[in-house]
Amino acid sequence: MKQILYLLFLLLSSFASGQNNFTIDTLPNKKVVIKKENGKVLKNAVFDSIVYNAHFTVGYSKHKINIYNNRLKKLSLSNVRAVYLGDFHDAQILQNNKVRKINTRGRDYKIGDGPLFIEHYGPSDAYFPFEITHNTRGFVMQSTEMLILERSFDANEPILLKDTDNVEEFILYTNTNTDVYGNTFVLQIPSDYYVACRMKNGKYNIYSIYNFLPANTRYLKLIDTENLPNDLDAVTGIKGFPKSMFKVERDGLVTYFPISKSVKYKSIETFEGNFARFELPNGKRGWLDIDGNEYLDD
């Protein structure tokens, strides 16, 4: 019910905002511009790429990022290094070396700038529970409602996982042996769903779930299984929105996988929305974003 209300609000919010009063036009040199309803090109608005939603338009070029509200008014924001648009009247930006959440006026976002209920009733990205347990046959996976991409399984029949002789324990994004997947429209485990395994030698390895599922050859070809982190000292599952991850540690270094594939940070803090503060072994500090991009402090 919560998801239905959320989707309905997204739809109504889109209609309430009206259609965007501009178009994106591509120039012969592949640059893009914002063209207003009257056909005139927005002044000083030539970019390499443009993204937008009902409330913001963001223009990206090599040396600058410009942010406009839904009236195409440029916000007075300098030294913006990264932007993530929210679903409503908010955006999260990295400005200089500081992370901010802003409203459509470019000011710090506060309760009341957008729909009140969304502050407390955000969407859930998963609905269908499954678990991995161990019995006399080995490790098995079972769900009340399961569709595993390549083939369907009887919901009442556990799936016997293969190649688990050296596995002592499975750890999922919830940091337990149970998790949830899918949403109203996706009733399947994603092809890039990863699991952590505590091995019998005491170390931890990261695998694709399809390493262990039967009839998985087709999907393993789509996944880079050769360069997943292994021989880890510790793993912690973190279930989150919009992304779930594992915090992994090896030889005194740490990272968030699969956001960052390399275990290289001296320390890394909890994500503040789309950004997490890190420090490298050489003492340099910066921000890691949810898509794996790094921004070292100026």
49 CB neighbour count, 10 Å cutoff: 12
Residue pLDDT, tens place only, 188-222 = 567 678 999 999 999 999 998 888 887 655 555 56
Residue pLDDT, tens place only, 87-104 = 778 999 999 999 999 999
What percentage of residues in the chain have a pLDDT greater than 70? 75
DSSP state of 225: -
pLDDT of residue 17: 46
R_g (Cα) of the chain, nearest Å: 22
Can you give the residue ranges of every domain in the chain? 2-119, 128-257, 265-298
Q: How far is CA 296 from CA 80, 188, 286, in A?
A: 13, 37, 4
Could you tell me the pTM of the whole model? Answer: 0.82
In this structure, which long-range contacts are made by residues 45-50, counting pairs with CB atoms below 8 Å and at least 24 apart in sequence?
50/24
Residue pLDDT, tens place only, 62-86 = 989 999 998 999 999 999 999 999 8
pLDDT of residue 224: 64
Cβ(121)–Cβ(112) under 8 Å?
A: no
